[in-house]
Amino acid sequence: MITRRTFVLTAAALLTAACASTTTAPRDESTGSYTQPPLPANATLVPTNSPIPPAAAEQDCGDVTASLSPNGTTQGQAINAIRARGRLLVGLDPGSNLFSFRDPISGTLQGFDVDIAGEIARDLFGDPQRVEYRILGQAERERALQQHAVDVVIETMTINCERKRQVAFSAPYFMAHQRILAAKNSGINGLADLAGKRVCMVQGTTSLDFIRRAQPKAEILTAPTWADCLVILQQRQAEAASTDNAILAGLVAQDPYYTELVGPDLTDEPYGVGIPQGEDDMVRFVNGTLARIRADGTWNRLYTHWLQPVLGPSSGPPQPEYDG
């Protein structure tokens, strides 16, 4: 028989357990099972009092996407070193469906960014397969270039003034726009609705900086990759995620029943190939490849194959501006 005292104690214990179960999955030690799914490894809540980064857009570096003209460059110190090695070292993130992801059948990396890397290798070696990948988290992109751990980073990387102080960029090869991903019928329709909601983000991205400035009342949970954010959403451990429409469209393609893109375009995100600073020959060479794929129909073919099914027809590749 349950006495009144037992009932009160049990209710208090249940309440304490409920209060404790916020970020880490509570584990029932007697059965060894989780009462909630665990968060992916290295997912962390950003303390609400941590400093908000300054707006990169406010920093002026002239025409941010201007790059060096190809000028027919086929030789140079950096280019020759890559040719001598026989492979192009490419930094990318394998958790970005449609840009760089592992094909479940073949196990190989595929996607729009992977194919851009292949086109650069085709022009360097006459063989698009002469590529070696280095897996980089978003926050590791600039450092990997500065340390010459990779020749190029092709990882949905937005060209901005802050990054241009650390690395060089090709001309833009894709224009994305930040948007919001939410569960269907969640009632989230834009930035204002993210106040007080938990939003999954990836460290080292322009997306995270933007959300922290534009909606300081959102509770931010960071995860290692955007693919982790999809799992976190599916496990109901966050209510939204926000990054480039092209990346989010890749997540929706993985779960069209539960997730949808909501609200308007929030930013412009021109993607560039990241290159170590000072390697002007390589910047010109990559811009030569980008000029070729715009002209010979390759860019359109890649867009049609990877992105048109989720983003609709494109108005064509971004046009380059050369400043040297």
Task: With beta carbons less than 8 A apart as the criterion, state whether 316 and 100 touch.
Answer: no
Of the ranges 155-163, 190-198, 289-297, 310-318, which one interacts with ligand GLU (CB under 6 A)? Answer: 155-163
The string of DSSP letters for 264-319 reads -----EEE--EE-TT-HHHHHHHHHHHHHHHHSSHHHHHIIIIIHHHH-----PPP
CA distance linking residue 133 with residue 146, whole number of Å: 17
Binding-site member from 153, 202, 282, 283 for ligand GLU (CB under 6 A) = 202
Q: What is the DSSP pairing of strand 269-271 with strand 174-176?
A: antiparallel
State the number of binding residues for ligand GLU (CB under 6 A).
12
CA-to-CA separations, 110 to 121, 269, 302, in angstroms, rounded: 15, 22, 11
Identify which of residues 91 and 288 has a Cβ nearer to ligand GLU in the complex: 91
Secondary structure element (H or E) that encloses residue 231, with its range: helix 226-234
* Per CB under 6 A, 281 contacts ligand GLU: no
Min CB(312)–ligand GLU separation in Å: 20
* Per CB under 6 A, 262 contacts ligand GLU: no
* Per CB under 6 A, 158 contacts ligand GLU: yes
* Per CB under 6 A, 138 contacts ligand GLU: yes
Furthest-apart CA atoms within the chain: distance in Å:
88
Query: Which residues in 39-58 contact ligand GLU (CB under 6 A)?
Result: none
Min CB(66)–ligand GLU separation in Å: 18
Of the ranges 41-49, 243-251, 256-264, 304-312, which one interacts with ligand GLU (CB under 6 A)? Answer: 243-251
CA distance linking residue 70 with residue 81, whole number of Å: 19
* Per CB under 6 A, 222 contacts ligand GLU: no
* Per CB under 6 A, 157 contacts ligand GLU: yes
Identify which of residues 110 and 156 has a Cβ nearer to ligand GLU in the complex: 156
